[in-house]
Structure 1
Amino acid sequence: MLFCGSGVKDAHTEVMELAHRLLSPVGHALRGKEWIQYENPFYVGMSGLLGYGACYEAMQAADLVLLLGTDFPYDPFLPGRNTIQVDDDPAKLGRRTPLDLAIHGDVGETLRLVMDKVEQKHDQSYLDDMLHRHARALENVVSAYTRDIEKHTPIHPEYVASVLDDLAADDAIFTVDTGMCNVWAARYLTPNGRRRVMGSFVHGSMANALPHAIGAQYGAPGRQVVALAGDGGLGMLLGELLTVRLHRIPVKIIVFDNASLGMVRLEMMVDGFPAFETDHEAVDYAAIAAAIGIESARVERPSDVRTVMERALAAPGPYLLDVVTDPNALSIPPHITPQQVKSFALSAGRTVLTGGVGRMLDLARSNLRNLPRP
């Protein structure tokens, strides 16, 4: 099984060739998503706290796991055995999990050097099984964002993210706040080799989406830059809106406004604590933006999301779209322990939506119809 991180940035072709020779499922960490998900018939999803699909199962069932360009920090999700790691930073080799072999080198160059030594496999029962498991896993959760979309208020945040993915430019740069916005970006933004997704993925700092968007827009003035901001994150660095207005920076700010610190709430509940001081009174961020001269809109009905978002993305200058979303649309990882289930059950009787997965379900179905053949 091939598990990829950001170190596969320039090695998509090599990873796909290796997967075809080994008939191996391919998954990724969050930072590897934009480099490996697209044009990938071996795709089984993402592992980790924000994960989805069959990536965790594929890794646990593998005879050998190749960690390619990833410093994946969540060792409980790793098998802890039969693992080879390739990384261009020797300090990262073996610090997350025991290794059978550590290779210090660039992922693409390493794979090119060894490819001729890799024999073509013909038994693809393991790959077939994991692709089917992946499709079933997505089938089980996709209804979370498709059911009663036009009637559900507050709005499903999954729906907002899926509409954004559909309308955004093919070379858009997305910046993502730490927290639940990470989940929606991981599950709904579709990579294509040209889009970028940036966030505080290493440090987990809050309130990063808008500052990142400002920097990204200056770095790529001709590209569409969209900040997926949580209301908590935006509120922490509210003054950055003045920077946007002062310099007329044409970033588009989509606020997932659930009047809650959703990820903190989830973490408390999973640990068995009742959510405490994670919710707050509603704030009209569109009104704040309008007051300082930024074009804005506040959306409370799902039927208005697409129309208003089209207007926001087409605006020549900065635009803030404040979408009132459901605070109960929380996410759980693809693998949870019995103790976590027990703790969550003790903490509250809320409904937890595992989150839809957008067009990834279509990708999984397509892979099943076109299973890679040696």
Structure 2
Amino acid sequence: MPILSGARIFVESLLREKVEVVFGYPGGKVIPLYDELYDAPIKHILVRHEQGAAHAADGYARSTGKVGVCIATSGPGATNLVTGLATAYMDSVPVVAFTGQAPTSLIGTDSFQEIDIRGITLPVTKHNYMVTNVKDLAKTIKEAFYIARTGRPGPVLIDLPVDVLKSHADFMYPESVHLPGYQPTYEGNYMQIKLAAETINTSQRPVIFAGGGVINSNASEELTNMAIKGRIPVVTSLMGLGVFPEDHELSLKMLGMHGTMYANYAISEADLIIGVGVRFDDRVTGKLETFAPHAKIIHIDIDPAEINKNVKVDIPIVGNAKNVLDKLIPLIKTIERKEWLEQIKEWKRRFPLNYEYDDNSIKPQYLIEKLDELTDENTVIVTEVGQNQMWAAQYFRFSKPRSFITSGGLGTMGYGLPASVGVQVGNPNKTVINISGDGSFQMNLQELATISSNRLPVKIIILNNGTLGMVRQWQELFFDERYSVTILENPDFVKLAQAYGIKSLRIDQTNDVEMALKEALNYDGPVLLDVIIPQDENVFPMVPEGASINEMLELKKKKREKEKQGEVA
């Protein structure tokens, strides 16, 4: 049994967990770790801000299904991880974060760069640790990876005092983990599954509502098989995009605040909702009292805390989505449901996603549609947060899981650029496209250096409207067009990218869109495309805050109201 330093135990433990890459930023208290990483067969990606490390680890995890790993030093290095950990926590992403800490003898004395990172991150991690004895280090790392990837995935943080990293102990990596207080349920109750099947088979207007939990459990194939066998239409949450092919006749795309009208109408008229790996959050349900008023609800989720949390459930099934669907599918009958599917087809015909095409200015919806035409299934779309995110979700057709990477629950501006670093590192043979708004882009634009120095061929598309678009949209629609502090004075993004050695283009004419996209996609390296779009372009449809999800603002309705106001004046 070899005697190793804590820093060496850290490296050996990561190798036992088959970690291939870590994202981090060095500092005083983690120098021992970095000294051991110097010769280790683990790739280290130097980000330019610790928040970028957390987001990159998150993007790596979402796109590969593996655990993402990030490292930061003590004090401000550790606190800079917090937003990234909260993002991963809200979206159930398996990340293990390591932070440096002051020596154990100085903890509690307000020593240099000492901070209680465990206390700070307690609400935004699945679990966290401080290792005060080097003998516990290997066991703790084993537990952290186990907790992060099992049950409902989530981030785990390990705080490492520098003296622990310098101390020595016998190294023996545990073969298994035994945590009596942590026993996730993977197999759903068969009687509940049987009852769910009976309910599905007798329903006239069922809808499957699929979320990120389906992707986490690798159950996309099972969910697709269930939908096709049962002839059941499918809506997804934002996190569930890609779980069911959107070019299939049973796809209703995304529902909720900026979902399709036909998805929202289907949920509102359904007699049964089969929720799989979803949280029924407020962006999906709208006004809770009027959500799916005619429907019974089946809820399949691995986290029992989500059952009955937001909506009353008729048939709860706690378990891993893949395992539950495997047992449910054989019990489901093939029923044509002709009347229901004809109604949905009619909604699709009457209420498609739409926008006003303009030869004189680039409409973001048009650009996303053209991007969809020019790319294939080997493409991963990573977004920032805001209008850019919603246009991508609406107008790009997703057909595979892990092809849409975005911050859902926390809505983190600045997520997309560093996340695309992790996605590209984890998927070197895929085309990774970061769709960004000009506001979000500037939150973490320093990661252009990470992309450039690592020669990552990420394609960055900035939908540049010179404003904080989604906030401005709310100000226009609900605050009497009082645009308080939402108009931006942007730098020249083309020159900025060039300063980092990144190829860059700017377009402002519709006729240039296809040519510019082809040039960016065909270029063997990173590209930044600055796309000038109209400042007043909004995301529709839209469910106003507090309204029912079938009470949607449309593009035409907005225009009619403006014309009417003009007539009155």
Give TM-score scaled by structure 2 length.
Answer: 0.56
Match of 2:213 in 1: 7
Q: Which of 457, 464, 473 is matched with 1:266 structurally? A: 473
Match of 1:257 in 2: 464
- SS where residue 286 of structure 2 aligns? helix
Q: Which of 301, 305, 308 is matched with 1:91 structurally? A: 305
Q: Which of 131, 138, 141 is matched with 2:345 structurally? A: 131
Q: Which of 54, 79, 92 is matched with 2:292 structurally? A: 79
Greater relative contact order (CA < 8 Å, ≥ 6 in sequence): 1
Letter in 2 for 1:64: L
Give the whole-Å Cα distance in 2 for the aligned partners of 1:255 and 1:291: 17
Match of 1:196 in 2: 403
Q: Which of 387, 393, 414 is matched with 1:207 structurally? A: 414
Give the whole-Å Cα distance in 1 for the aligned partners of 2:375 and 2:335: 40
Residue 98 of structure 1 deviates from its aligned partner by 0.7
Give the whole-Å Cα distance in 2 for the aligned partners of 1:194 and 1:63: 28
Letter in 2 for 1:326: P
Match of 1:231 in 2: 438
Residue 174 of structure 1 deviates from its aligned partner by 1.5
Match of 2:265 in 1: 57
Gaps of 5+ in 2: 1-206, 564-569
- SS where residue 44 of structure 1 aligns? strand
Q: Which of 164, 171, 175 is matched with 2:378 structurally? A: 171
Give the whole-Å Cα distance in 2 for the aligned partners of 1:194 and 1:57: 25
Gaps of 5+ in 1: 351-374
* Structure 2 CA distance for partners of 1:291 and 1:16, relative to 1, 3 Å: closer
Residue 285 of structure 1 deviates from its aligned partner by 0.4
Residue 349 of structure 1 deviates from its aligned partner by 5.0
- SS where residue 163 of structure 1 aligns? helix
Q: 1:52, 1:334 within 8 Å by CA — same for their partners in 2?
A: no
Letter in 2 for 1:289: A
Give the whole-Å Cα distance in 2 for the aligned partners of 1:225 and 1:122: 39
Give the whole-Å Cα distance in 2 for the aligned partners of 1:22 and 1:291: 55
Give the whole-Å Cα distance in 1 for the aligned partners of 2:242 and 2:497: 31
Q: 1:8, 1:36 within 8 Å by CA — same for their partners in 2?
A: no
Give the whole-Å Cα distance in 2 for the aligned partners of 1:119 and 1:174: 36
- SS where residue 127 of structure 1 aligns? helix
Work out whether 1:101 is the aligned partner of 2:301. no
Work out whether 1:25 is the aligned partner of 2:228. no
Match of 1:182 in 2: 389
Residue 135 of structure 1 deviates from its aligned partner by 2.6
Residue 310 of structure 1 deviates from its aligned partner by 1.1
Letter in 2 for 1:293: G
Give the whole-Å Cα distance in 1 for the aligned partners of 2:245 and 2:543: 20
- SS where residue 345 of structure 2 aligns? helix
* Structure 2 CA distance for partners of 1:180 and 1:123, relative to 1, 3 Å: closer
What do you get for the CA RMSD once the two structures are aligned? 2.6
Residue 316 of structure 1 deviates from its aligned partner by 1.4
Tell me the number of residue pairs that the alignment of Structure 1 and Structure 2 aligns: 340
Match of 2:203 in 1: none
Match of 2:27 in 1: none
Q: 1:172, 1:195 within 8 Å by CA — same for their partners in 2?
A: no
Q: 2:543, 2:552 within 8 Å by CA — same for their partners in 1?
A: no
Work out whether 1:278 is the aligned partner of 2:486. yes
Give TM-score scaled by structure 1 length.
Answer: 0.83
Residues 131-167 of structure 1, C-alpha deviations (whole Å, 9 max, x = no match): 22123211xx43x25x33xx222x1111111122222
Letter in 2 for 1:137: F
* Structure 2 CA distance for partners of 1:22 and 1:172, relative to 1, 3 Å: closer
Letter in 1 for 2:271: D
Q: Which moved more, 1:255-264 or 1:9-18?
A: 9-18
Percent identical residues: 28
Q: Which of 277, 282, 286 is matched with 1:69 structurally? A: 277
* Structure 2 CA distance for partners of 1:99 and 1:171, relative to 1, 3 Å: same
Residues 78-106 of structure 1, C-alpha deviations (whole Å, 9 max, x = no match): 32652110012222212121111110112
Work out whether 1:317 is the aligned partner of 2:525. yes
Give the whole-Å Cα distance in 1 for the aligned partners of 2:261 and 2:221: 23
Match of 2:255 in 1: 47
Residue 24 of structure 1 deviates from its aligned partner by 2.7
* Structure 2 CA distance for partners of 1:127 and 1:335, relative to 1, 3 Å: farther
- SS where residue 241 of structure 2 aligns? helix
Q: 2:280, 2:311 within 8 Å by CA — same for their partners in 1?
A: no
Q: Larger C-alpha radius of gyration, 1 or 2?
A: 2
